[in-house]
């Protein structure tokens, strides 16, 4: 047989027609051959990579405790508000958080302002000084991206917002009385 590059158009056409005219393998033989191979299972690394959340660090952009009275143009020290207002920003989202004193505990209420319409808020606090044990509370976002956690004790907390494949981590939040 001549090399393909040296074939004339007619010879090449006859060669192609002869290849097309080959009969298919019997269907029972095809099923048997296919049955020899196991179903493809994704590798554990690929499955783990698909489940990895994109971790996003939020930045504190406003804290009502940090506002100096002179910056507000006030002549005297204003009365301390029982509500602390904080605003965080992270990749197209703003997180509005308010901490309100309620008897011997606090209420954390907030809202996610951005593209997400569902998710979960996790609030963690270390229960031991060596951080060997973390206590975590979870609450789902409502239809407007809002959340509320009652009966939060004074302490330092870490808040994580689980929104789709993103995990937005806020800087540590001090809950309790303001110390000047």
Collapsing DSSP to helix, strand or coil, 32 comes out as helix
Collapsing DSSP to helix, strand or coil, 85 comes out as strand
Provide the domain limits for residue 19. Answer: 7-50
| Nearest-angstrom CA–CA distance, 17 and 8 | 14
- Mark whether 80 and 111 lie in a shared domain: yes
How many distinct structural domains can be found in the chain? 2
Residue with more model confidence, 20 or 164: 164
- Mark whether 60 and 111 lie in a shared domain: yes
- What does pTM read for this prediction? 0.62
Whether the CB-CB separation of 150 and 107 falls below 8 Å is answered with yes
CATH of the domain at 124: 2.60.40
Assigned domain for 180 exists:
no
Q: How far is CA 145 from CA 62, 111, 130, in A?
A: 20, 5, 34
- Mark whether 29 and 117 lie in a shared domain: no
- Mark whether 58 and 46 lie in a shared domain: no
- Mark whether 91 and 160 lie in a shared domain: yes
Judged against a pLDDT cut of 60, whether residue 90 lies above it is answered with: yes
The arithmetic mean of pLDDT across residues 144-172, rounded, is 91
Structure tokens at 178: 């303001």
- Mark whether 11 and 76 lie in a shared domain: no
Judged against a pLDDT cut of 90, whether residue 42 lies above it is answered with: no
Collapsing DSSP to helix, strand or coil, 78 comes out as coil
Residue with more model confidence, 161 or 74: 161
Residue with more model confidence, 115 or 171: 171
Question: CA 151 from chain center: how many Å?
Answer: 26
- Mark whether 115 and 42 lie in a shared domain: no
Structure tokens at 8: 């004339």
Whether the CB-CB separation of 88 and 59 falls below 8 Å is answered with yes
- Mark whether 137 and 66 lie in a shared domain: yes
Burial (0-12, 13-18, 19+ Cβ within 10 Å), 113: middle
- Mark whether 107 and 31 lie in a shared domain: no
């Amino acid at each position: 047989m001549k090399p393909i590059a040296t074939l004339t158009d007619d010879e090449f056409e006859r060669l192609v027609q002869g290849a097309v005219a080959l009969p298919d393998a019997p269907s029972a033989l095809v099923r048997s051959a296919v049955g020899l191979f196991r179903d493809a299972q994704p590798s554990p690394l690929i499955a783990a990579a698909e489940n990895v959340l994109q971790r996003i660090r939020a930045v504190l952009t406003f804290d009502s405790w940090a506002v100096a009275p002179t910056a507000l143009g006030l002549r005297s020290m204003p009365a301390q508000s029982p509500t602390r207002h904080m605003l965080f920003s992270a990749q197209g989202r703003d997180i509005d958080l308010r901490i309100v004193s309620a008897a011997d505990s606090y209420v954390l209420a907030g809202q996610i302002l951005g593209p997400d319409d569902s998710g979960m808020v996790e609030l963690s606090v270390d229960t031991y000084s060596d951080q060997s044990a973390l206590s975590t509370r979870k609450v789902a976002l409502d239809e407007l991206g809002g959340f509320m956690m009652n009966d939060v004790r004074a302490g330092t907390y870490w808040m994580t917002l689980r929104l789709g494949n993103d995990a937005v981590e806020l800087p540590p939040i001090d809950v309790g009385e303001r110390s000047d």
